[in-house]
Structure 1
Amino acid sequence: MVAYPGVDGAAPATWKSASDEWHALAKYALDAARDLRDQGVKPLAENWTDEVGKAAAGKFRSLADQFEVAYDILLAVDMVTDGVTNAIETAQSTLREARELAGHYGLTIGADGTITGPPVHNRTEAEEMGPYRTQVQDLIDQAVAQVTTADGLAAAELAKLAAQTGLTDPDKALNEFQTDASHAQMQMLAADIPVHQDPVTVRQWWDGLTPRQRTDLMRAEPVLIAGLDGVPDDVRTQMRGNGKYDRVKLVQYALDHWNTADPTDFGNNCTNFVSNALHEAGMKEKTSFWWGTSDDDGWMIGNRTGVDAVDKRLAYSDNWAAAENNQNFMLRHGGQEVQRSDVQPGDIIYYEQSGPNDSIGQGTTHHAAIVTAVMPDGEIKYTQHSDSYQNVSLEGRINATEKHEGAQNLRIVRPDPDWY
């Protein structure tokens, strides 16, 4: 277990530097994988078609796979070290608040974390000082606990990643090790939040954070922050949106239902999942009295029979479950496209085909996912159906998507319904 001196004396800048270096190495590995495929595998396959050429292309392909694995593993290390960085920075802010609070109450925190105070002369004075000591101790305990959690998670993940030097399967590196690292990073952030503390301690913890740290946690853990008694009401209200639907509930639905069956199976349920999440978050349907679900400007569920083959054709409007229709509908009715630098939890990511693909026309929007977290460094985590993933890295996965499906233009939309 990490102790008070370890938290107080930790050097988050060192962890941040290490995280940046791992990220840079990951990008070098990805560039190498792409160069090998573009300058090696592809020209050989096109211009040297005999067995020797095929063997050479196979060697280049194998090397490219190894560099791609390196990218996924190195990016996973970056996620873990970034999580530790944030845990230390937040914990040290909490310790600063504990020291300020202790000074206000006439208490002192020693180098080992022991709280001392002026001598008490009677039982009444001791009883009066007791709650003050408890408040300071609660903040110290929160800081130590969050770094202890981060330390344990990081040690386990880094040991697991260090053992993958012989891994050659890019899919395993991405879907298992990078995904696990992403989840560990999210667990570290969740541990930074005093979910089991009383509202007074929560408010003191919140007040001790810098404005940047507050914003970072609101974007990275919106569900936990919005549900935390002690965080100012105006902050929690702000996170939920403008009242047309609840952005926090949207994220909560996605995180809770990422791997559960949707009410109707469309085969590819990515956009159906997005619409269900928006609907559960309070977005009202845009209905048509005369045309019902056949209205090309509606967003609604009609009468379901329970038979998927029937319902997916008749019980939903086209804008409900088709990615391109859904994207265009949201933009036509109040939604706005946002830059990656401005993305917030609850925004929708649409994948528009921009490279060649035998089954998807260029310019066609074919996939949708929900932004469920934004990391302090701007990394976007998303959650989706078909295939089902929870809180995975957009940066970490887009390479694999483009390798299999061709280049993508990512459009991020913030719905803002104008029909009610």
Structure 2
Amino acid sequence: MVSYEGINNARPKTWATAADEWHALAKYSLDAAKDLREYGAKPLKDNWTDEVGATAAAEFAKLADQLEAAYDILLSVNMVADGMTTTIETAHSTMRAAVDLATQYGLEIGVDGTVTGPPPRSRTEAEEMGPYRAQVQDLVDQAVEQVTAADRLAAAEFAELAGQTGLTDPGKALNDLQTHASHVQMQMLANDIPVDEDPTTVRQWWNGLTDRQRKDMMLAQPVALANLDGIPADVRRELRGNGKYDRVKVVEYALANWDKGDPTDFGNNCTNFVSNALLHAGMKEKTSIWGTSDDDSWMIGNRTGVDGVDKRLAYSDSWAAAENNQNFMLEHGGSEVPRSDVKPGDII
């Protein structure tokens, strides 16, 4: 387990620098892969067509694949290092909140993270100080637990990635390794949230975060925050939005159904999935006496259970066609926002 003193001495800026350096290395690796293909494999294939030339071109292509795989592996390392940076920064904020609270109550936090205070002069005074000491201790324990969990996740992921340095399959590096690393990073952020604590501890934890940390948490973990007692009511309302659907429910639907089939499979199913998520999140269908043939409807009609029939007749064009869906939303109260303003629950 990571110690309280160890967290105090941790340097998140060092982790941030390392993350940036891994990101830079990843870019160099991808550039090198492109150069090998453009100036090595391609000219050989085009101009040296005998067996020797083909062998040389294949070697260049293999090296390019290895460098492209390295790009995704290095980005995976960057993600995990970024996750550690965020976790340590969040833990430092939590510990500052604990120290401020301890000072307010006349308590002290030892180097081992134990909360102590002056000997109580009476049983009544001891009973009064008990809850205060518990509040401070809960914050200290939260900081220690979140860094300990992140440290274990990072160590395991770094070990896994270190064993993949000879990988020559860019698809596996992207789809398996980088995907897993992104999940590890998200799990680190999830572990920073005191989901099993009482509302008072949650509120003190939230108040101890910086504005940037709160924004990052709202972007990364909207479902956990929106359902957590102790998070301010205005924050939870902001997460859910005040439009025609509940943003948090869109995210919940996506997390629960991303790998499941829909009642009707459109093949390229992205817009159908989005529409089902919006319906689940409370958006009302716009129906018409003309049914799904009306260009100004967003609805499901009568399904037969036969995909070939239902794709043509049971859904409005705005339901499962991306451009039609976009146009419908923009014509009925939706608006485009810059990438910097995108929030969980938006449609991209």
TM over 0.5: yes
The equivalent residue for 1:401 is none
The equivalent residue for 1:311 is 310
RMSD: 1.6
Structure 2 distance, partners of 1:64, 1:340, is 32
The equivalent residue for 1:338 is 337
Query: 1:219-261: per-residue Cα shift (whole Å, max 9, x none)?
Result: 1111111111111101110111123111111011101111111
Instruction: Give the secondary-structure state (helix, strand or coil) at the position aligned to 1:338.
Output: coil
The change in CA–CA distance for 1:345 and 1:40 in structure 2 (over 3 A counts) is farther
The change in CA–CA distance for 1:309 and 1:68 in structure 2 (over 3 A counts) is same
Query: 1:192-212: per-residue Cα shift (whole Å, max 9, x none)?
Result: 001111111100001111111
Structure 1 distance, partners of 2:46, 2:326, is 37
Deviation at 1:348, TM superposition (A): 2.5
Deviation at 1:43, TM superposition (A): 4.4
Structure 2 distance, partners of 1:71, 1:333, is 42
Equivalences for 1:225-264 in 2 at 5 Å?
225-264=225-264
Show structure 2 runs of 5+ residues with no match.
none
The change in CA–CA distance for 1:346 and 1:40 in structure 2 (over 3 A counts) is farther
The equivalent residue for 2:300 is 301
The change in CA–CA distance for 1:65 and 1:223 in structure 2 (over 3 A counts) is same
Deviation at 1:344, TM superposition (A): 1.8
Deviation at 1:47, TM superposition (A): 4.9
Deviation at 1:314, TM superposition (A): 1.0
Deviation at 1:322, TM superposition (A): 1.9
The equivalent residue for 2:120 is 120
The equivalent residue for 1:14 is 14
Structure 2 distance, partners of 1:118, 1:260, is 58
Query: 1:369-395: per-residue Cα shift (whole Å, max 9, x none)?
Result: xxxxxxxxxxxxxxxxxxxxxxxxxxx
Structure 2 distance, partners of 1:21, 1:318, is 47
The equivalent residue for 2:38 is 38
The equivalent residue for 1:89 is 89
Show structure 1 runs of 5+ residues with no match.
350-420
Deviation at 1:48, TM superposition (A): 4.8
Structure 2 distance, partners of 1:311, 1:250, is 24
The change in CA–CA distance for 1:64 and 1:297 in structure 2 (over 3 A counts) is farther
Residues 39-48 or 173-182, more deviating: 39-48
Instruction: Give the secondary-structure state (helix, strand or coil) at the position aligned to 2:336.
Output: strand
The equivalent residue for 2:141 is 141
The equivalent residue for 2:186 is 186
Equivalences for 1:14-413 in 2 at 5 Å?
14-290=14-290, 292-349=291-348
Return the index of the structure with the highest Cα Rg: 2
Structure 1 distance, partners of 2:54, 2:159, is 37
Structure 2 distance, partners of 1:45, 1:109, is 68
Give 1:243's aligned amino acid.
G
Deviation at 1:333, TM superposition (A): 3.4
Give 1:295's aligned amino acid.
D
Deviation at 1:311, TM superposition (A): 1.3
Query: 1:60-84: per-residue Cα shift (whole Å, max 9, x none)?
Result: 2212111110000000000000001
Structure with the larger helix share? 2
Structure 2 distance, partners of 1:110, 1:71, is 44
Deviation at 1:325, TM superposition (A): 2.4
Deviation at 1:52, TM superposition (A): 4.5
Structure 1 distance, partners of 2:51, 2:105, is 81
Residues 270-279 or 68-77, more deviating: 270-279
Deviation at 1:297, TM superposition (A): 2.8
Deviation at 1:159, TM superposition (A): 0.3
Residues 31-40 or 310-319, more deviating: 31-40
Aligned pairs, how many? 348
Structure 2 distance, partners of 1:315, 1:48, is 56
Give 2:6's aligned amino acid.
G
Query: 1:103-155: per-residue Cα shift (whole Å, max 9, x none)?
Result: 11110111221211111122111111110110001001100000000000000
Query: 1:340-371: per-residue Cα shift (whole Å, max 9, x none)?
Result: 3222212223xxxxxxxxxxxxxxxxxxxxxx
Residues 338-347 or 181-190, more deviating: 338-347
The change in CA–CA distance for 1:34 and 1:347 in structure 2 (over 3 A counts) is farther
Instruction: Give the secondary-structure state (helix, strand or coil) at the position aligned to 1:348.
Output: coil
The change in CA–CA distance for 1:234 and 1:59 in structure 2 (over 3 A counts) is same
Give 2:211's aligned amino acid.
P
Structure 1 distance, partners of 2:270, 2:54, is 37
Give 1:155's aligned amino acid.
A
Instruction: Give the secondary-structure state (helix, strand or coil) at the position aligned to 2:188.
Output: helix
Structure 1 distance, partners of 2:38, 2:320, is 35
Deviation at 1:169, TM superposition (A): 0.9
